[in-house]
Amino acid sequence: MDFGWLDITVAALVLTALIGAIWTRGRNWLDPEFWKRYAIVGSVIMFVFLWILTFDTLKKTHIGSDRVPSPTVINYKITYEFDPSKGYYMPKIHKDQKELLFGKEYSEEEAMKLLVKGKLVIQSRACMNCHTLLGNGAYYAPDLTKAWLDPKWEKVMMPATQSKTKEEAMVKFLMHPDKYATWTRRMPNLGLSEDEAKAVVAYLKWMSAINTNGFPDHFGESKLVKF
Ligand code: HEC
Is residue 141 scored above 60 in pLDDT?
Answer: yes
pLDDT for 221 equals 58
Query: Best mutation site among 125, 131, 203 for ligand 1, i.e. most ligand atoms within 8 A of its Cβ?
Result: 131
Q: What is the pTM of this model?
A: 0.86
Q: How confident is the model at residue 226 (pLDDT cuts 50, 70, 90)?
A: low
Is residue 121 scored above 90 in pLDDT?
Answer: yes
Q: How confident is the model at residue 157 (pLDDT cuts 50, 70, 90)?
A: very high
Please report, as a single letter, which amino acid is at residue 155: K
Is residue 122 scored above 70 in pLDDT?
Answer: yes
Is residue 227 scored above 60 in pLDDT?
Answer: no
pLDDT in tens, 63-115: 999 899 999 999 999 999 988 888 888 999 999 999 999 999 999 999 999 99
What architecture is domain 71-208?
Answer: Orthogonal Bundle (1.10)
Task: From the CA of 225, give the closest atom in ligand 1.
Answer: 17
- Of 141, 211, 135, 138, which Cα lies nearest the Cα of 183? 141
In sequence order, what are the beta bridge partners of 94? Answer: 77
Pocket around ligand 1 at a 6 A CB cut-off: 122, 125, 127, 129-131, 140-142, 144, 147, 150, 152, 174, 181-183, 185-188, 190, 200
Ligand 1 centroid to 96 CA: how many Å? 32
Q: φ, ψ for residue 39 (rounded to 5)?
A: -65, -40
Q: Are 133 and 142 in contact (CB under 8 A)?
A: no
Ligand 1 centroid to 136 CA: how many Å? 14
Of all protein residues, whose CA lies closest to atom 39 belonging to ligand 1?
Answer: 127
Sequence-ordered list of residues with C-beta below 8 angstroms from that of 168, at least 6 positions apart, any chain: 102, 158, 161
Of all protein residues, whose CA lies closest to atom 9 belonging to ligand 1?
Answer: 187
Coil/strand/helix, residue 211: coil
Mean pLDDT for the chain overall: 93
Percent of the chain with pLDDT over 90: 83
Beta strand spans in the chain (E): 76-83, 88-98, 132-133, 136-137
User: Where do the structural domains in the chain lie, given as residue ranges?
Assistant: 5-60, 71-208
Q: How confident is the model at residue 3 (pLDDT cuts 50, 70, 90)?
A: confident
Question: How far apart (Å, rounded) are the C-alpha atoms in residues 80 and 215?
Answer: 12
